[in-house]
Chains A and B, each alone.
Chain A
Amino acid sequence: MLSLAVSIAFALVAAAVVLSLWRLLKGPDKPDRILALDTLYINTIALLVLLGIHLGSSLYFEAALLIAMMGFVGTVALCKYILRGDIIE
């Protein structure tokens, strides 16, 4: 039951990654693309957590934590670039 649920969850999160990539390529404005990148790293964290459950290994949480921190920093840097025209003034 658990392996079936993890397989269905992998399929759903992979479909979410594809939809975010579509918005990243299509998005008419710059904030749309930044939001798609933000959603992509959230989906990557979900994929890593699912991979940790699937393989029974807790090694992947450090990677998930790093992706969470670096993704937030990237989103803030891109938004500050749009807002101010510069990142570090």
Chain B
Amino acid sequence: MITNLGCGLNMIDFMLAILILIGAAFTFVGSLGLARLEDFYSRLHGPTKATTLGVGALLIASVLYFSTRGEGLSLHEILVTLFLFITAPVSAHLLSKAALHLRVHSVARPPAEAEDPIADQRGSSAAHPPEQAS
């Protein structure tokens, strides 16, 4: 993989290596947060970093790689980046709504006087009633 054609390609190789390592490190940290944090709302925080920074840096590295080695500019990866960046907040919002609906365990106690906006939809099917959440 390492070319000896001049300083330019070695510089691009260096930048590619840095971008790939940054992307893989953020992907790993995102899953580490998913595995190690203590409640669902904290765990939701980790994989969004893996989506934006991790996969984003890897796709930038891929654009750089195929633009310098293939023929011409390579822009397939912009589609994946755009799609991921649009859909990541939507899926995180839906996941947090589902978790609020099921009343999953949270380390932060909700304020006692806060009224429940979807109490009529929730009914009696709450998985964790608020008096059991500690």
Interface residue ranges, A against B (CB under 8 Å): 1-6, 8-10, 12-13, 15-17, 19-20, 22-23, 28-32, 34-36, 38-39, 42-43, 45-46, 49-50, 52-53, 56, 58, 61-62, 64-65, 68-69, 72, 75-76, 79-80, 82-83
Chain B contact surface mostly? helix
Chain A contact surface mostly? helix
Contacts of B55-105 to chain A: CB distance below 8 A: 55, 58-59, 61-62, 65-66, 69-70, 74, 76-77, 79-80, 83-84, 87, 90-91, 94-95, 97-99, 101-102, 104-105
Total CB contacts across the A-B interface at under 8 A: 174
Q: Is the CB of A49 within 8 A of B58?
A: yes
Interface residue ranges, B against A (CB under 8 Å): 1-2, 13-14, 16-18, 20-21, 23-25, 27-28, 30-32, 34-35, 40, 43-44, 46-47, 50-51, 54-55, 58-59, 61-62, 65-66, 69-70, 74, 76-77, 79-80, 83-84, 87, 90-91, 94-95, 97-99, 101-102, 104-105, 127
